[in-house]
Structure 1
Amino acid sequence: MTRSAELLIVNGRVFDGRLRTASTAVAVRDGRILRVGSDAEVLALRDDASTVLDAAGGLIHPGFVDAHAHAVFAGVERLSIDLTPAVTVEETYELIRAGAARSDGEWVTGGGWSHELFPAPTRHELDRIVPDRPVALSDAGHHTLWVNSRALELAGVGADTPEPRNGHIHRDEHGVPTGYLNETAAELVGRVVPPASEAEMSAGLANAQEYLWSLGVTGWHEAILGEYNGKADATPAYLRGIADGNLRSEASGALWIAPGLREADVPALVARFVELRERNAAAGFDTSTAKAMIDGVPHGETAALLEPYCSHGDGFAGELHYEEDAIRAFIVQLDAAGFALHLHIMGDRGIRVALDAIEAARAEHGAGPRHHIAHLSMVRPEDAARFGPLGVTANIQGLWAAPDPAVVAMIGEARMQAGYPFRSIAESGAELAMGSDWPVSPAEPWLAIHVAVNRWAPLPPGVEAPPLPAGATPPTLDPEHQALSLEQALAAYTAGSTELVLRRPGRIRVGERADLAIASADPFELPPAALVSVQTAVTVVEGVVRFQR
């Protein structure tokens, strides 16, 4: 005898994680999908205790799974000084001023400031706002730190401080640090900033979870677990959230491989990671992935390129964060130990070096864990064609696949236009997953899907663009050859990410976990340029409605 359903979603259109189907309704019981079909077929499972949700013609789809997020510290930042809402210099200053007044700690911390508003920020601006306490604020990309004079003083960073490898201390004409620190230079101050406590991280995780539910995100992959740039290891927050039942979404995490790891130290790292994986798994937390930043970012001229930066006349092409022999060693040895590699790579040289190492691992061990490369801003065509044959998943940040004037200044228009070759990688036979890199960029999946499909980015709220001529479109990145279809992009952010980082099917099928979202419209009925208007109306996590707009 068929049992009645606890939750019925009707009057929609079902995207099952891979395909838009003819079904219009879904029934849920005990956290699992009980039936998928027509409204009549699903309503037949209704009884007096059932809850019925009207999708109002919107798309019913698997919950989004963010394959690359820093949820704990995004939440911590949201609870401290979050500068991402600021669209003017004065708004940024006001948020800093208000945050400092709220804070009773020694340090004033936060992040999310915009390079467009502050192309070269200085300590003097912060000194005027907070003259007597140290201030350290990450940029929106979290590869740069803006600090005041007191912070530099406490960190012992001055005119005689040498440049760190893979980092840059911006200085004035007298050689004195200006308070603007890139990449590893940020760690010079980051290491003296008091890390968030376990209680603060747990509060940040709770805040992040609730915010992600409002976007239809029902699971995610924490992209760094370990001490990083002055931040504490977020693992205890996850273990606590699992133990006390407050973490209702599914999450996995990646153990952090610190830059500069030497080849000789790889066996010890692998042994330590195996121990951590077993310990975390016993507590219900999957950490069978290892994360490495193979290079930096084009904005800071720290991505490793095959040809020099346009902005340099000395042939400088960036640097890898590890020696090539070390990269090959940790990829081959972690592959043998059953770890998936999650690799941050922005430059085309970094892509090639990593693919060569993965190819060596495949030659030595055969098919193995699903390694994934995130960002993919610069990939040569011959390397894009290698993803599928090597079984490497493209962990794409769809929101980034749009023209960026700051990057053009660094790498030139031709390399910018050839960037983010998502379709070429897909055509190689590679699987696609999608993530946001939140809080580096916004966590809104529909915004990322819009850009992946259209290859142009809407302006942030409050920012107005000059009017375009009649019939003109915003500047784009090769949409004719590299845009994804809506079906591909939505599949990547649902089933693709779920299969990659949660290691289960992310489909709307009978018996599967009922992690679902209802969109405010059916995006398949909208023109592509209108995808940005779609919002999440309802989010369901394991059969329970966690958000309703």
Structure 2
Amino acid sequence: MTVETPGVADTAEPLILAGARLPGVDGVVDLHLDGGRVAAVLPGGSPLGGAGARRATAARRRLDLDGRFVVPGLHDRHVHFSQWAMVSRRLDLAGAESAAAVAALVGASVEGGDAEVIGFGYRDALWADAPTREVLDAVSGEVPVVLVSADLHACWLNSAALRRYGVGDVGGASGVLREEHCFRLMREIDDVADGVLDGWVADAAHRAAARGVVGITEYEMRWNRDDWVRRVAGGVDALRVSFGVYTQHLDRAIAEGLRTGDEVPGTAGLVTVGGYKVITDGSLNTRTACCFDPYPGLGPDEHPYGLANVPYEDLVPLMCRAHDAGLTPAVHAIGDRANAMVLDAFAAVGCGGSIEHAQLLRRSDLARFARLGIVASVQPEHAMDDRDVADRYWAGRTDRAFMLAELASAGVELVLGSDAPVAPLDPWVAIAAAVGRTRDGRGPWHPEQAIEARAALAASTGGQGAVVRAGGRADLAVIDLDPYAASVEALRAMPVSATLLAGRFTHSLG
């Protein structure tokens, strides 16, 4: 692949992507880009066709793709971007398989001289030993320790941290905070200086672009508009960002006239207002997803059916206020009881929107999902992370967990995401999980719920479909393999040669 006019920071001048292949389309094509759009898709080497194609050719900027594949640029429909940017700066707990193993990692960090230890990524649902404050105290002394679970719905603290943050009465003997208590603490420990955090975000945005990503839906629990206006003004321009509004900011959003889909001034069209995000229940690994059936073997301080963070009688008025103000609800629901309640709420409000996660569903709710026109915003890699946890805590019900194929067959629109940092911000990982339902050499888990690569790709491009078409945005990913023919393992590691946003390179290996 050669670039006659190289440079990742090129402006969106007319450009020809020559000798490209499109998945599912025979032969090679030339893509003529102009004005941030795909002006024409012509057979390779064919004569000019249309003003846009003529302008691209006249500009003599040409990238020879040598038969590489081009797909619409990828979107991750559910991320916590600041969290994702922070995790590489925190103690990595992902490989720990017990409370004792976590304590050993914390102890090593303390011995290394850290004045405070903030870790991320533990998953305790299958541990033989329980997390307690004493386990952490034994290795940390007076050094505050805050450990965030991989699902972001629990924090585990030692005594010094419980005192520092004034939550000792909540943490109890375990030192574990769940749901809203956890969210409040996370907002405190995430209070990083803007300049520092923006630098981390810029790095994360470039990493995302290197995986073919052109857009994200941001669900950080912050007042996201001002953050992203500042970042774009500072040169963070590799991604399109649609940001969510949480309940604590709903009054402000309404007062300032924010409406879903509106472009935010001063962001060159990169930042738009997203939906109204509300979290109605917890998560599977924290055993707080709200279910009709009880979780087996829970401790005395846990809730046997999970938690309804927002009861129905509060949810409907909140969704009504948001909808009436022009903010589309995007509602977190994981357990089957939570999903049923949220569908009831959408029916009562009479609006569309999305359910974020939709992990466990009653089959009787599939038709309602479709009839109400609710989008299923799902994260297929969660099924790979949680398969063993689901087999234990949702035993006898896993045939209706992460049921992508049945949702699609019922006519429900699927959109894929990562929930980063819960799973990596890499749509190829999500696509591979949706197609193969497997990872790490294990057999497929409920393969009947797999979807085809074409459908998974289409659900990952922000509404642009699976095939590049004339007139569409010149948001593109250049990849080395045919995504329809690649193995599941190859999909996970898909080589990305270039990424363009509105015809401008945000990533290039050439």
**Shorter-normalised TM range:** 0.7 to 0.9
The answer on 1:213 being equivalent to 2:209 is yes
What letter corresponds to residue 275 of structure 1 in structure 2?
Answer: E
Percent of matched pairs sharing the same residue: 26
Question: Residues 50 and 103 of structure 1: is their aligned pair in 2 closer, same or farther, counting only changes over 3 Å?
Answer: farther
Of the candidates 295, 300, 307, which is equivalent to residue 293 of structure 2?
Answer: 307
User: Secondary structure, in 3 states, of the residue corresponding to 2:424?
Assistant: coil
User: Secondary structure, in 3 states, of the residue corresponding to 1:509?
Assistant: coil
- 1:107, 1:133 within 8 Å by CA — same for their partners in 2? yes
Of the candidates 516, 521, 524, which is equivalent to residue 481 of structure 2?
Answer: 521
Q: What's the CA shift for 1:51? A: 3.6
Q: What's the CA shift for 1:430? A: 2.1
Of the candidates 191, 196, 212, which is equivalent to residue 192 of structure 2?
Answer: 196
Q: What's the CA shift for 1:7? A: 3.2
- 1:311, 1:411 within 8 Å by CA — same for their partners in 2? no
Residues of 1 paired with 2:113 and 2:236: CA distance? Answer: 26
What letter corresponds to residue 34 of structure 2 in structure 1?
Answer: R
- 1:388, 1:426 within 8 Å by CA — same for their partners in 2? no
The answer on 1:390 being equivalent to 2:372 is yes
Aligned to 1:63: 73
Residues of 1 paired with 2:225 and 2:122: CA distance? Answer: 27
Of the candidates 197, 214, 224, which is equivalent to residue 220 of structure 2?
Answer: 224
Aligned to 1:540: 500
Q: What's the CA shift for 1:99? A: 6.9
Aligned to 2:403: 421
Question: Residues 487 and 451 of structure 1: is their aligned pair in 2 closer, same or farther, counting only changes over 3 Å?
Answer: same
Pairing 1:16-415 to 2, within 5 Å after superposition: 24-41=29-46, 46=57, 49-54=60-65, 56-78=66-88, 80-81=89-90, 83=92, 86=95, 107-115=116-124, 120-123=130-133, 126-127=136-137, 130-158=140-168, 161=169, 169=171, 177-187=173-183, 189-190=185-186, 193=189, 195-226=191-222, 233-257=223-247, 269=250, 272-275=253-256, 277=258, 281-284=264-267, 285-312=271-298, 316-362=304-350, 368=351, 370-402=352-384, 404-412=387-395, 414-415=396-397
Residues of 1 paired with 2:40 and 2:477: CA distance? Answer: 16
User: Secondary structure, in 3 states, of the residue corresponding to 1:146?
Assistant: strand
Question: Residues 493 and 94 of structure 1: is their aligned pair in 2 closer, same or farther, counting only changes over 3 Å?
Answer: farther
Question: Residues 356 and 21 of structure 1: is their aligned pair in 2 closer, same or farther, counting only changes over 3 Å?
Answer: farther
Residues of 2 paired with 1:407 and 1:337: CA distance? Answer: 38
Aligned to 1:7: 15
Aligned to 1:487: 454
Q: What's the CA shift for 1:352? A: 0.9
Aligned to 1:365: none
- Give 5+ residue unaligned stretches, structure 1: 163-168, 170-175, 227-232, 259-267, 363-367, 460-464, 466-472
Residues of 2 paired with 1:59 and 1:287: CA distance? Answer: 32
- Give 5+ residue unaligned stretches, structure 2: 1-11
Residues of 1 paired with 2:453 and 2:190: CA distance? Answer: 44
Residues of 2 paired with 1:42 and 1:241: CA distance? Answer: 42
Residues of 2 paired with 1:406 and 1:219: CA distance? Answer: 31
Residues of 2 paired with 1:212 and 1:293: CA distance? Answer: 26
Question: Residues 269 and 525 of structure 1: is their aligned pair in 2 closer, same or farther, counting only changes over 3 Å?
Answer: closer
User: Secondary structure, in 3 states, of the residue corresponding to 1:298?
Assistant: coil
User: What TM-score do the two structures reach when normalised by structure 2?
Assistant: 0.83
User: Secondary structure, in 3 states, of the residue corresponding to 2:498?
Assistant: strand
Q: What's the CA shift for 1:242? A: 2.6
Residues of 1 paired with 2:507 and 2:403: CA distance? Answer: 34
Residues of 2 paired with 1:93 and 1:276: CA distance? Answer: 48
Aligned to 2:4: none
What letter corresponds to residue 210 of structure 2 in structure 1?
Answer: S
Question: Residues 506 and 289 of structure 1: is their aligned pair in 2 closer, same or farther, counting only changes over 3 Å?
Answer: farther
Question: Residues 254 and 535 of structure 1: is their aligned pair in 2 closer, same or farther, counting only changes over 3 Å?
Answer: same
User: Secondary structure, in 3 states, of the residue corresponding to 2:256?
Assistant: helix
Q: What's the CA shift for 1:137? A: 2.4
